[in-house]
Structure 1
């Protein structure tokens, strides 16, 4: 009973910490999950390749929830392999949860029977139960699972809209980690009026402006420098702090984003030029 699936990372248009409404878009950086189920046990063990000390509670819980809902409570083992830096603001947890849920459904032979949005909700439930997220991150989960750009109400796990976008993107990840569960929610709630404005801009399709306003506001709330956003703006359609940081993401025309990449490369860390993704998570 083996299954395998891949889910993409995502960048932020609107951080949901201020109001519960969030928006994100899938990018071409993947997390892969391989699941082997054992009907003789209900125990689940997890491993993150090349990250021996990584917390695997989220993916283990994903396996348990899926087998309880769609199988017979099987246990087993889950292994994830990630191109996404952990705790970087690029939705590695959502991607890992999505890939694990789909891989477990694949192992059960049920991957085509379960609606992708319902699969995303299982991963969000696992994230809440293991304390990985404050908001439930349904925005991040849907962007990764469905592909394209999504906006959600994370308070009720409702998908407000989804749109396919075809952008180039550049991502800078500084050499540090920032865990979503540690974010100062009270400070984020102080900028709720700006978050509501960002939501309105995004609902009108003004995604570049929306993500830039989001980035400047959340850099202030979460105490990250806004300089990378300002440096990107002459060349990008929009730029933002991604999630609760430390990564930044900018979108626009590929040649122009090469200028952003050059500027961001002057900082420590990793800079990569990539694209958005419309196909979302998939079995392999």
Structure 2
């Protein structure tokens, strides 16, 4: 009665805090979950390398899957991740997706990936780790590629392949999505509407750059990393509610940007987008 799964991180094209519409793309950095079922009727969780971290989200994901497909089983969820927590790289969505799929695996149950994603989104709302439900982030992580969503209805508006190199800059500090100033974000709604139009037109790199300048202003993050990436990168943005930034483009060009970003405190690395999404292991 064991199950395993993994789900990728994601970067932001459009932050959904302004209008409820969001867009994100999967990144080839992973969160893994292992689920063990037992007859205790209780759920526990732990996060590798973070013994004091809150495990409410993954425990809630486990419980929701068991409520739907199980018979009152309890168990334990353990996650480990290459994705820094509270960095704007969708670590919560990746953990939720991996846990849902691992629990389905342990129960030998089947569910479409979109419906599995919605279980994690509902669990995130219940656990209070997101303001919007983060269906944009969760769908990108679950499906791979890039998605555009209506987070108020958990509706998938677009899903496309998105194959490009990605440069990530993750400062040392953390920023929790649930603590973001939603009212300030709503003030940049006209820019968010423009970003949505660009994204639905397939102009994802341009869309994320407009998003980045708008939400750096709304969330009071510096635009210095964005300016340093331009005009070399095809697109660059604050990821989620920060503090990380992601840039997309060809690898050789992003290597030049990487040289500049390494002057900042924190961690910088080159990777790629991920097009296959979450999977059982």
Q: TM-score, normalising length from structure 1? A: 0.98
> Structure 2 unaligned runs (5+)?
none
**How many angstroms apart in 2 are the aligned matches of 1:132 and 1:208?**
27
Q: Does 1:228 align with 2:222?
A: no
Determine whether 1:71 maps to 2:70: yes
1:114 is aligned to 111
Match of 1:5 in 2: 5
Match of 2:160 in 1: 163
Q: How many residues align?
A: 281
Match of 2:18 in 1: 18
d(CA) in 1 for partners of 2:193, 2:217: 16
Aligned twin of 2:136 = 139
Q: How many angstroms apart in 1 are the aligned matches of 2:13 and 2:155?
A: 17
- 1:51 match: 50
Runs (4+) of structure 1 moved beyond 6 Å? Answer: none
Offset at residue 72 of structure 1 (A):
1.1
TM-score scaled by structure 2? Answer: 0.99
> What is aligned with 1:257?
254
Pairs within 5 Å for 1:121-132: 121-132=118-129
Deviation at 1:73, TM superposition (A): 2.4
* Matching of residue 41 in structure 1 with residue 40 in structure 2: yes
Q: For 1:262 and 1:188, locate their aligned partners in 2 and report how far apart those are by CA, in whole Å.
A: 31
1:198 to 191, 195, 198: 195
1:177 counterpart (166, 174, 181): 174
- Work out whether 1:276 is the aligned partner of 2:247: no
Matching residue within 248, 252, 266 for 2:263: 266
